[in-house]
Structure 1
Amino acid sequence: MATGSNSQEIRPSPELPKQLPFDFLKKITNDFSAERKIGGGPFGNVYKGVVPDDGRLLAVKKLQENAPMPPDKTFNNEVQNIMALKHENVVELVGFCWETQKKLVQFDGRYIQADITESVLCYEYLPNGSLQQNLFAEPAIDWSTRFKIIKGICQGLLFLHKLDIPIIHMDLKPENILLDENMVPKIADFGLSRVFGQEQTRLYTQTVVGSYGYMAPEYLYRGEISTQSDIYSLGLLILEISIGEQNCKDKNQPSARNFIDKVREEWTLEHIASKYASLDTEGLHQVKICIELGLKCAEIDRRVRP
């Protein structure tokens, strides 16, 4: 399991400017070197940035051109949707770069000069990495930490959904939950997020983009988006954290029904007691309630989800 130290260096200074020059980001990531890479996904790679003056650490995400959505759309989603958000369970965006530079690129067998836009996002650095890196690793996370992580994710999502202009995350999964030095969870990666207008509760899209196994069925099959889309994904997260087993091991399987049915069938009170033999009555009750809540959130019919 990933661990972190130097807790005094983790949070970026509030004086860090919001708009950052590309050369500065190149410098603090050692020109986005492989040695500094700490994560990656369909939208881009994340690098550890070390500010030379004082050793502060930042997480620098460089968006890539061949992402599922255009970099400018992803960039606008992340910057506009979360720049002003401040919550203990939502990752803090501390800076960004949208800079066009002239570069020599190869085209049709020869080199030409082209305008290349570099789009980079800069976040607070979280030393324990993602929930994905920790949840299925050894030694296993103890139940009290798992329970704290579940509560934190719920609080962060409630905050996003209760904003005056609600934000629907649309990609809740273990890779997009980051953990700070005290294992406090923070919702991250808003590249697919949607903003609802006031009085708006649902919208539809013909472009369904997301992570197999975590997309709500009404979104996966009909392109329907609502806060309940996130609640479905939350349910799967709660189940994974509670039982310590991974959903959608088959990356080609879009639905999580097999996983949900397996949890409903296998995780009886007796099974919980055998898997969490060291827990007292209160702890076992917490596990039971979390599994029940996860199953309710992952109901096929969005209208019966909490």
Structure 2
Amino acid sequence: MAAALAIEHISHEMADARYSTWLQPPPGSESKSPQIIIAIVVPIVVIFGLFIIIVTCYIRRKPKKKSNDEEEISSVESLQLDLDAIKVATNNFSDENKLGHGGFGAVYKGTLQNGQVIAVKRLSAVSSQGVLEFKNEVQLVARLQHRNLVRLLGCCAEGEEKILIYEYVPNKSLDNFLFDPSKKVFLTWERRYKIIGGIARALLYLHEDSRLRIIHRDLKASNVLLDNDMNPKISDFGMAKLFGVDQTQGSTNIIAGTYGYMAPEYAMRGQFSVKSDVFSFGVLLLEIISGRKNSNVNDSDGATDLLSHAWRLWKEGTPLEIMDPTLHQSFSRNEVMRCIHIGLLCVQEDVSERPFMSSIVLMLSSFSVTLPTSSPPPFLRRGRTEFSQNAILSDSRANETEKSASNSTPMSVNDVSISEIIPR
């Protein structure tokens, strides 16, 4: 019995020893646990820290988004050229470099140090345009990019000097060819048709396709320049007006521009819109076809303007009589007839009946488009532009009004473009 109890006691002690051995960690495990924790935590902390550093550096290096005003100021400043560099380019504005002179000032040919030939427009010292307005105009023109618009390269506003630097267009203006008997022979019908299309596309860009909606307000033959390939480029944006997205009309108390090219609603009441440019385009189109100025017509029935003359021939069924005789029948009859029709549509008295430039471009490019019937243009009389009563009674309304700063009526708002009070 005693032996049995002794054996049972020994077996219990052995079981307890095995149990306690199973509960205790293996030798050396207590010293390894902190190392494992450190091996896991440290890489995580390092990776997270690197991530924070990378994000912080990216945010600091990322350029801050500028406001619209800051961007515009920066854009204008980037176009600034040094006056001394301009003087060197133009040989100190020498007469030998002078290309022309008008109410806005003089234009000079210049050559920059890199060899680039430029046209330098030096505004008159008596110009009413201030530095702020000057920079606003620069900003406006600098944002326009089209192959049929003269490209602005830079500007300079130092002291009394206000200068615009444009790309140099070697063949000067359209009127230099169109109204010169010895030079108009270079304007074949093919070239004239290309010029008409280029002007139309440029106006479409200004009215609808650019980021801005711009009314030129002074489209005429002398404001269309011709490059080496006789491609047209509209110039002189001194009178241009910027419209808002939803704006359709504007008005002014200062009538500036060239009589003979002005739409009746603008000449009589100071109201302008994209349709005002359409009217000017129609006048220019008929001048390109005929080779004659709007004011230089002596019709057998007493008409002294091109619009009345063209309308009479159209109604009599002899529209081709308006053609420039130097073309000697070397033209497409269908193209000419279509252009005359489009020109008469553009110069209608009723603003609402004039087509938009998008329609005009389509009419010029597609002969499958049926043209509407045109109504009479405003009738002009000798010496001054006297529009008929229908134009005065037009229902056009203005959404924008400009107040004149003085009682006088200048020929130009800012003397940037050449504007004449008499018909051309």
Structure 2 length as normaliser, TM-score?
0.59
Shift in Å at residue 270 of structure 1?
A: 5.0
Alpha-carbon RMSD: 2.2
Matches of 1:73 and 1:146, distance apart in 2: 39
SS of corresponding position for 1:90? coil
Q: Which runs of 5+ in 1 are unaligned?
A: 1-16, 101-116, 251-255
2:280 is aligned with 1:233: yes
CA distance in 1, matches of 2:264, 2:324: 33
Q: Structure 1: how far apart are the matches of 2:198 and 2:102? A: 23
Deviation track 1:85-107 (CA, whole Å, cap 9, x = no partner) reads 1111011000101112xxxxxxx
Matched position secondary structure for 1:278: coil
Are the equivalent residues in 1 in contact too, given 2:313–2:319 (CA < 8 A)? Answer: no
Query: In the alignment, which residue of structure 1 is the partner of 2:96?
Result: 35
Change in 2 beyond 3 A, CA 1:56/1:208: same
Matching residue of 2:321: 271
What residue is the counterpart of 2:192 in the other structure?
Answer: 146
The aligned residue for residue 44 of structure 1 is 105
1:156 match: secondary structure: helix
The aligned amino acid for 1:246 is: K
Would the aligned equivalents of 1:77 and 1:192 in 2 still touch at CA under 8 Å? no
- CA separation in 2, counterparts of 1:77 and 1:293? 35
Query: Which residue number corresponds to residue 23 of structure 1?
Result: 84
Unaligned regions of 5+ residues in structure 2, if any? Answer: 1-77, 298-302, 356-424
Counterpart of 2:152 (choices 88, 93, 108) is 93
Structure 2 residue 220 is the aligned partner of structure 1 residue 220: no
Matched, 1:203 2:264: no
Q: For 1:284, give the aligned amino acid.
A: R
The answer to whether the 8 Å contact 1:272/1:288 transfers is: no
Cα 1:270–1:59 shift into 2, 3 Å? closer
Determine if contact 1:77/1:190 at 8 Å carries over to the other structure: no
Amino acid in the other structure paired with 1:90? L
Q: Which has the larger radius of gyration?
A: 2
**Cα 1:226/1:77, change in 2 over 3 Å:** farther
Could you tell me which of 128, 133, 136 is aligned with 2:179? Answer: 136
Query: Could you tell me the percent identity over the aligned residues?
Result: 43
Structure 2 SS opposite 1:211: coil
Equivalent pair of 2:286/2:306 in contact (CA under 8 Å) = no
Q: For the Cα contact (< 8 Å) 2:80–2:154, is it kept in 1?
A: yes
| Alpha-carbon distance in structure 1 between the residues aligned to 2:163 and 2:324 | 47
Instruction: State the alpha-carbon separation in 2 of the partners of residues 274 and 18 from structure 1.
Output: 43
Residue 207 of structure 2 corresponds to residue 161 of structure 1:
yes
Q: Which runs of 4+ in 1 moved over 6 A?
A: none
- The answer on whether the counterparts of 2:295 and 2:304 sit within 8 Å (CA) in structure 1 is no
Whose helix fraction is larger, Structure 1's or Structure 2's? 2
Aligned residues: 265
Q: Contact 2:319 / 2:340 at 8 angstroms: preserved in 1?
A: no
Residues 43 and 273 of structure 1, relative CA distance in 2, 3 Å threshold: closer
- Confirm or deny that 1:60 pairs with 2:120: yes
SS of equivalent residue, structure 1 residue 94: strand
Confirm whether residue 289 of structure 1 aligns to residue 334 of structure 2. no
SS for the counterpart of 2:305 is: helix
TM-score (norm 1): 0.81
When you count strand as a share of all residues, which structure comes out higher? Answer: 1
